[in-house]
Amino acid sequence: MGSKISVLRVSQGGDLLPGTPSKDIKQEATEASQNRYSKATFRSIPGLLHGAGYTKPRWGSLTILLICLYVLGTYWNLDQEPLQASSAATTIARIPEPLLAPNKQGESVAPSHSYDETRLELELKALAEEFRRITGHFPTPLFPLPRLSPPQLKRYAHLRQVSTEKDRGKIMLVASLKDVQELLYDLLRSISVLTSFLGPKRLSISIIEGPSSDETAHILEEVLWPCLIRFGVDSDDIHLDLHMEEVDWSRRNRIEQLADLRNQALSPVWEDHGLNFDGLPVNSSITGRTAGKGVEVIVFFNDVYFNAGQILELIHQHVKSGADTAPPAIMTNAMDYRAGNVGEETFFYDVWVARTAETGDLFRDFPHEGDGQLLFRGHEQLIEKYDKLQPFAAYCAWNGIAVIDPKVFLPPYNIRFRRSNQTLGECAASECSLFCKDLWSSGLGRIQVIPSVRVSAKLYSALRQTPLEVAYDMDLATRTLMETEDAQASNGWHEGVPPSDLDTGVKWPERPPPWVKCYP
């Protein structure tokens, strides 16, 4: 088993870790923040390469530029020795004073529930310094401006923790991660925005990791944990299971192992209620841990690039689906994308899992890749919903991020991720496909997809990446972001919020499709 973190001990002095350079960290972080790419800069790169007459990007030139930017960022501080990460979470770097407000006795107290952008900016700068301490260079985020726009603040206000007298249910972030160092900076920035906006009592987290060959475990242990504590998240609401044992894939069924990993990440949901894997009561529970208690919504994400606004939109759509007389959604999903090679057209990725609600068919032809127009062939209503970025019902989906009602993991349902039952002739499908099947079998087949939330998968291990693979991930993530913004703009979205005439709900199918296509 890996090492489980349950308590964080902070040094009394709060000094910087050994090896931290003497240069003014705050000043350097500020300079780095000012040099981050803005949305306008992203859009101007092709124009700079090709002149004022530019109409379509020449991705080969953009690829070269991305490679150069990565190399320059990686070797920012050649005159300094790489900074070594500490193996223990017993000390954290000193943070700006406004982050921890003293009470009358001079002791640090948890922050208020107000959304303070100034305080958030200080925390984001502290994150950049911590990443530099561990990796030796300041990271470059995909999302340069992680804040929420004023229309988004209004749209998602109903999700916040607004009262300290009566706690709301928690939003639980769940993931199984390995070798994701390059996307962790965007991930932690997004979690910072979510925690600041939603409130620390509104959040819990369960992440299992490894074994990673890069700095993923160190970053989760020495950056994410202290960050959450500084925001006021209770340590009992944080479950990190790091340095997992290496899996011998030659001895395990792949789907069975992936199902086990997902179940392990979700285990606080039932264990913190005193239940075992089968949903039966046990004599003892995890002492003191509450990460899985009082959970209102689970957000399970793969190793994909996303920002806080996308997560909030998924949760908003998930909660909103039950606002009228219709029953609420059980699972709400994003859409994820990849491309065959650098510069090629992006296409919907999770085709093995996703199935339409009407006919149980694939979202697109498989394994054909490269033509986005092939989505939902023969399903005109779905095509219209997709083009207008309106939610639609599905028989099954996962698509990089899934917002799930936690009741499905508790009695009387006790649904778990699993492999197919070959003895019964069950389709040799993904653990996520079988999860959807079990939802429908339990009368919980209310699954929707939010096409306005588009994410890109991270396909290469951070430590073993070649320059071309680095360019691939950054190129894909950047284009997915830009294509999403273009689609929103063409449909009249304003600062991340849709127009009222397109802000529609989903009509749930009365029954599952008579047949669901099996593609083992």
3-state secondary structure 336-348: EEEECCCCCCEEE
Q: How far apart are the first and last CA of the chain?
A: 31
Q: Is the pLDDT of residue 101 over 50?
A: no
Average pLDDT of every residue of the chain: 79
Highest mean predicted confidence (pLDDT) among 77-81, 100-104, 187-191, 286-290: 187-191
Nearest partner of 218 among 173, 260, 181, judged by Cα? 181
Strand-pair partners of 3 = 242
Rounded average pLDDT over 63-89: 42
Tokens of 229: 């504590």
Query: What is the pTM assigned to this prediction?
Result: 0.80
Q: Is the pLDDT of residue 349 over 50?
A: yes
Which helix H or strand E contains 333, and what residues bound it? strand 331-339
Strands (E), 118-229: 170-177, 203-209
Residue 343 — very low, low, confident or very high, per pLDDT cuts 50/70/90? low
List pLDDT tens digits, range 131-157.
999 988 888 888 887 889 999 999 999
Look at the block and give the residue holding tokens 């401006």.
145
Neighbours of 75 (CB within 10 A): 10
Q: Is the pLDDT of residue 373 over 90?
A: no
Q: For the chain, what are the domain ranges? A: 3-502
Tokens of 394: 């599905």
Cα separation, 374 vs 382, in Å, equals 12
What is the radius of gyration, based on Cα positions, of the chain? 23
Residue 297: what pLDDT? 97
